Structure 1
């Protein structure tokens, strides 16, 4: 009798233990599934704009007298916001996973702004803005491999990351993206560093030249702002045909007061000549003061000076140049930013004034200045 009672008791204990084990397994699986979902994110934006030249035509023909044939647009020589009338920006979808040690980002772009941003890509890769994986080796070291947006400069490709809707000359002619391997180092609570080896600039899909770029960054951050000193050096094309390029760039921004912010960007780029002669390149500086008038509205101005020397940029049309290959531009952009929930409206007035004739007036005569109005609309999710 006693044996039977003990046996029944043991059976009950086993059943309870089995039930608890099953419950624990199911709970653990549900917890792991929930954890994976919580670590996965979807974000992005859509944007469009209206642009109108003041004192200049908004569309001209190909100088053949027929404005309906092969139309071209008069716009500042900067990226993205260069069409007249109502125009599309891009749709941006960012998929990400952030684990304890590893993660990835797949940043996809569709539309005119996206196409301009990934201009060196073909086929299916033409929608890839960023595509990289990372490994947190330790609390102070992070490795990233793949295609990532540039670490140089104040402005970025996505309009959600910029205060002004149109972009600067320094951003437009600096690098957009890189493909390679970079290592980020957290030195202490304030200081950081980065080292990278990358394909030639903006060759994000592959490396057709068998040359590489070395990148470096030293950063300082505090509660009221940050400063980053950036470098890149290397051959951007076939050795012997294109000389090495060196760029130094300073990006910094600080909350001067509760309502007032000041950003600064300065850059210098030099490319060695293909034959005997002097190096050519560009340099510039821009100030980004912004004043927050209310919770919904902020007003700011970008004042930029940008100069080419010795045929820098090889005639890409940034600004007109003289017989020595030198030219410069002073560009002032006044922007308002008004938030309506997740929608931001950005009206702005822009004036570009160049040292040489760069634009056309209403009589199709060459002129040194261009004024324009832009209204950008950005929805962020």
Structure 2
């Protein structure tokens, strides 16, 4: 009897080991590590008297001297029908990417599960990076190391449920219901945002039309305690076009255009909740991307971007006039030199020019409408 029991245990352990080995074969670990050096040509490269630094108001690559990016570790399980992605970030770039995290889980960049219902339909549930825009959070997936204004002030991430539907070999549709943008751990506002994407892809690239609509900060409620002047914005609408194609074996062209507006909301006057007067506020912009491979190891890319803020749509991003309108034109020239396949050096020169005076300061601490800078980044991916 003891021998039979031992045999049964050994058979069970063998079966369990076989199942675990099969499951582990579906698990992958990937990610990246990055760091950079940044210096201004025509502005101070140390803290100003108020403690701020002179840099474009775009995300991630805006600290002086030698600076850290992030460590990004992605664990994924890819089954035939189901799977998950746990994407963790550590370091300043990671902190900036999850800036609206509500607690100790602010190392979570993405955390979602998916179900392949059929060959044509996939449901995704959890926290996933945004479907809008051309650029992404991971530096390993961008050609330019510094980021555009449109990327920096579009959504970063969403939490909700989305359905990806393959309409044909080339056409796809995505529909989603989500919490307010970038508040990813739970729905604190009691409102929801809808997302929609129509995509077309072929062997040379693709085009995606993206839509986003919803109230991002909740609505005032007379049943809740309110204070004089407490306010809430109206619903936000954003339409975004992203496209990119290989026009030859050496040349790639990309384009991103976006328009974002938030309607006038409501405020509490001490007695009643009243609708605010005025037009909506927001931003719009367009960026073009040209990249050319000069050899197997080196590529050169140019990004040109025009970005406009209207009716005080964003605070402190660009210089604005008395009506709250202003714009910036930014040109970024980047090289990508692959020391080996997964280790890239990115030298970069960038020029930002504002429509309004005195947004930046020069080396004499006088107001300036333009800033030129240099950056050298190193990105290792695995």
Q: What corresponds to 1:349 in structure 2?
A: 349
Q: What corresponds to 1:183 in structure 2?
A: 163
Q: 1:123 to 1:22 in 2, by over 3 A?
A: closer
Q: CA deviation at 1:238?
A: 2.1
Map 1:327-346 to 2 at 5 A.
327-341=326-340, 342-346=342-346
Return the alpha-carbon distance in structure 2 between the equivalents of residues 110 and 22 of structure 1: 43
Given candidates 51, 72, 76, the residue that maps to 1:96 is 76
Given candidates 242, 248, 252, the residue that maps to 1:257 is 248
Q: What corresponds to 1:48 in structure 2?
A: 35
Given candidates 211, 236, 249, the residue that maps to 1:245 is 236
Q: CA deviation at 1:35?
A: 2.3
Q: CA deviation at 1:36?
A: 1.2
Q: CA deviation at 1:37?
A: 1.6
Q: CA deviation at 1:78?
A: 0.3
Map 1:1-381 to 2 at 5 A.
31-63=18-50, 71-240=51-220, 241-274=232-265, 275-313=276-314, 315=315, 317-341=316-340, 342-357=342-357, 358-381=359-382
Return the alpha-carbon distance in structure 2 between the equivalents of residues 210 and 285 of structure 1: 33
Return the alpha-carbon distance in structure 2 between the equivalents of residues 25 and 294 of structure 1: 55
Q: What corresponds to 1:5 in structure 2?
A: none
1:151-181, Cα deviation, whole Å (9 max, x unpaired): 0000000101100000000000000000011
Report if the CA contact (8 A) 2:102-2:183 is conserved: no
| Superposition CA RMSD, Å | 1.8
1:81-111, Cα deviation, whole Å (9 max, x unpaired): 1100000000000000000111000000000
Q: CA deviation at 1:206?
A: 1.2
Structure 1 gaps, min length 5: 1-18, 64-70
Q: CA deviation at 1:368?
A: 0.5
Return the alpha-carbon distance in structure 1 between the equivalents of residues 218 and 181 of structure 2: 13
Q: What corresponds to 1:4 in structure 2?
A: none
* SS of alignment partner, residue 25 of structure 2: helix
Q: CA deviation at 1:306?
A: 0.3
1:198-254, Cα deviation, whole Å (9 max, x unpaired): 011100011111001000000000000100000000001122521000000000100
Return the alpha-carbon distance in structure 2 between the equivalents of residues 119 and 129 of structure 1: 10
Q: What corresponds to 2:268 in structure 1?
A: none
Return the alpha-carbon distance in structure 2 between the equivalents of residues 82 and 264 of structure 1: 24
Q: CA deviation at 1:367?
A: 0.8
Q: What corresponds to 2:271 in structure 1?
A: none
Return the alpha-carbon distance in structure 1 between the equivalents of residues 105 and 11 of structure 2: 44
Report if the CA contact (8 A) 2:32-2:140 is conserved: yes
Return the alpha-carbon distance in structure 2 between the equivalents of residues 122 and 377 of structure 1: 31
* SS of alignment partner, residue 23 of structure 2: helix
Q: CA deviation at 1:122?
A: 3.7
Return the alpha-carbon distance in structure 1 between the equivalents of residues 179 and 157 of structure 2: 10
1:319-346, Cα deviation, whole Å (9 max, x unpaired): 1100010000000000000111221000
Report if the CA contact (8 A) 2:162-2:175 is conserved: yes
Return the alpha-carbon distance in structure 2 between the equivalents of residues 34 and 339 of structure 1: 35
The number of residue pairs the alignment matches comes to 353
Structure 2 gaps, min length 5: 1-6, 221-231, 266-275
Report if the CA contact (8 A) 2:258-2:285 is conserved: yes
Return the alpha-carbon distance in structure 2 between the equivalents of residues 219 and 243 of structure 1: 28
Q: What corresponds to 1:8 in structure 2?
A: none
Return the alpha-carbon distance in structure 2 between the equivalents of residues 35 and 203 of structure 1: 36
Q: TM-score, normalised by structure 1?
A: 0.90
Q: TM-score, normalised by structure 2?
A: 0.89
Return the alpha-carbon distance in structure 2 between the equivalents of residues 22 and 93 of structure 1: 37
